[in-house]
Structure 1
Amino acid sequence: MKMTKGSRIAVISLVTTTVLGIVLLAGYIIRSRNQLPVLGEPGHRAGAFAFVNQAGQTITEQDVAGKVTVVEYFFTTCPGICKLMNRNLERVYKTFHDQPDFMILSHTVDPEADSAPVLQAYASGFGAESGNWQFLTGNKDSLYRMARQEYLLSVEDAGKTGTVDDFIHTQYVCLVDRERRLRGFYDATDSLSVAALILDVGRLLK
């Protein structure tokens, strides 16, 4: 069927409008992704801490000063999501392991069991080196306070909640910028969310 001149113009106009809409939408998404929100109350910044890493070294907020960090909570005997979370974080680690201004902080929620040697053995299963991927243990109250008050992440001692699992922790990780501001939460069990995390880490490192 032969198209009339008016029909051709209408089709061209529709295609042009559609393409323009896609371009504008893509531009909006890119701009939105480049402008990561600052989360928490106005002026909130993650505070001071002192924990021990898998190498037995004390790590404090001074060691992450000026760095982009990804914060996780887990435990080595976790029967559920922890291995999946850390397999996905291994992707993040491998992407940025040669960046001196990047670090992953993986905090145990079970410091009584997760000593530095235990964390060292666990970390080796993910090829993690203490320079860019710190597996941290320490005082339980301090670990939980940092999660809840500083990083706004949910952790619980199930002994106090009456649940079946020993410990409860979120599958979300927190992205923290060079100024210790919270910039995003990402589902570490979801590959697409982890891909978004990798993109956002790259943006903050620029």
Structure 2
Amino acid sequence: MIKHTNLWCSLLVIVSLNMVSCDQKTTKLPIYGHREPVERTVNGKTVIDTIYQTIPDFSFLNQDSAIVTQSFFDDKVYIANFFFTHCPSICPTMQRNMLKVYEDYKGDDRIAFISHSIDFKYDQPHVLKAYANKLGVTNDQWQFVNGTKADIYGMSEKYLVYTAEDANAPGGYDHQGYLVLIDKERRIRGAYDGTDDEQVNKLQSDLKILLEEQNSSS
């Protein structure tokens, strides 16, 4: 990685906490990101609720030249990442590992996947479509999207993932290879190094925990 930022540090903390949570065999995953306590009155008593950071509304163009919004992911757990199709470094490994999870849940309408291209110049829908086909994605459960630089890079900040256009980086872009696990309420529940087999195994384990948690709360 070429650059290090506070986002980078935040995700290192997230991954460390994930490792602790797995070791402790918790049955409920933590919620990550910014949080704010809010007072409200219930039956005449003051209680404290917590408002958690969530992924905001969005609108991107996908591999089929169709607009995809947050509504596509309503009532779903999903995994998100940031990549670009001609990435010569971490993307091939990251996307192959994402594909393993996709294949495990292919056809399961409880879960979806989204890959945001950070190459806003080159990765047009037909390029994303060819990439998805070559990777082995055969349904719309996994969306490949692009948008303006401001929209895509702004969205990466909401996922706490570092992305940047950088002429000195391989392929001209610098980014982190995290697979970010999002719950039905659009909250961040985990972040995993998509190039590390052990971390991908943790993602698969945590995904099962989250699906059970969401099923029990629905």
Same fold (TM over 0.5): yes
**TM-score bucket of the superposed structures, by smaller chain:** 0.7 to 0.9
* 1:94 equivalent among 100, 103, 120: 103
Structure 2 gap ranges (5+): 1-20, 36-51, 213-218
1:83 aligns with 2:109: no
TM-score by length of 1: 0.80
Aligned to 2:153: 144
Q: CA RMSD in A?
A: 1.6
Structure 1 gap ranges (5+): 1-27
Aligned length: 176
Q: CA deviation at 1:110?
A: 0.1
> Could you say if the C-alpha distance between residues 47 and 180 of structure 1 is closer, same or farther in structure 2, counting changes exceeding 3 Å?
same
C-alpha contact (below 8 Å) 2:88/2:170 kept by paired residues: no
Q: What amino acid sits opposite 1:37 in the alignment?
A: P
Aligned to 1:35: 28
Larger Cα Rg: Structure 1 or Structure 2? 1
Structure showing the higher strand proportion among its residues: 2
Identity %: 34
Superposition pairs for residues 143-182 of structure 1, below 5 Å? 143-148=152-157, 150-159=158-167, 162-163=168-169, 165-182=171-188
Superposition pairs for residues 9-158 of structure 1, below 5 Å? 32-42=25-35, 43-148=52-157, 150-158=158-166
Structure showing the higher helix proportion among its residues: 1
- Aligned partners of 1:105, 1:187: CA distance in 2, in Å? 16
Q: CA deviation at 1:165?
A: 4.3
Q: Please state whether the residue corresponding to 2:120 is helix, strand or coil.
A: coil
Q: What amino acid sits opposite 1:152 in the alignment?
A: L
Q: CA deviation at 1:131?
A: 1.7
Q: CA deviation at 1:34?
A: 2.1
Q: CA deviation at 1:164?
A: 5.6
Q: CA deviation at 1:33?
A: 3.8
Query: 4+ runs of 1 displaced by more than 4 Å?
Result: 28-31, 162-165
Aligned to 1:6: none
* 1:189 equivalent among 187, 192, 195: 195
TM-score by length of 2: 0.76
